[in-house]
Amino acid sequence: MLKLENMKEWEKILMVIRRHWFIYVMLWLYFLWAAVFSVILYFLLWVNTLTNIANVIIWIIFSLFLYLEWLNHELDLYVVTDSRVIWIEQHWFLDRTVSECNLWQIQEVNSHTKWLIANLLDFWDLKIQTAWNITTMSMQYVPIPMQNARKILNIVDEYREKYQISKNNEI
């Protein structure tokens, strides 16, 4: 269960959207590419100490790259509560942006799919347009983007209806 530090005691998390599992397939393909490259390097060059050291250095650098790519994709998420949307985007190692906006500031939610694999596995883009200084919160490789966009819009509509009812009751 996700718990955010700055949540109010009455605030509830309604949705958490993470990236699609296809990202891990892409990282696995990177790993296989590096393994093939390493084997080719090993057999094309003379097998000696220098080749082995170069191979180990390449694997250390590539393992670090894979870990940072995994971390980048793993920490990106949308958190939708009953009063706001929080967008956490990990750009690179120790480089993160956390943006949030109230539900009444959301103007539209767009979803987009392209490519054959993205359509077959049902993932791609989810964008939230706001009336705020950050106008677009965008995340790629979102699972079932059309359903998630519809769910967010339903939450926004419920929030607006609730706000209008309480405002009318006060008058």
Q: Which residues contact 30 (CB under 8 A, 6 or more apart)?
A: 66, 69
Position 171 confidence tier, pLDDT thresholds 50, 70, 90: very low
Residue 95 identity (one-letter amino acid): D
pLDDT of residue 155: 93
Mean pLDDT across 156-167? 78
Strands (E), 5-105: 13-17, 77-81, 84-92, 95-102
pLDDT tens per residue across span 27-62: 899 888 888 887 777 777 766 777 778 778 888 888
What digits encode the pLDDT tens for the residues 21-36? 998 898 899 888 888 8
Instruction: Classify burial at 99, counting beta carbons within 10 Å of its beta carbon; exposed 0-12, middle 13-18, buried 19 or more.
Output: middle
Count other C-beta atoms under 10 Å from residue 98's C-beta. 12
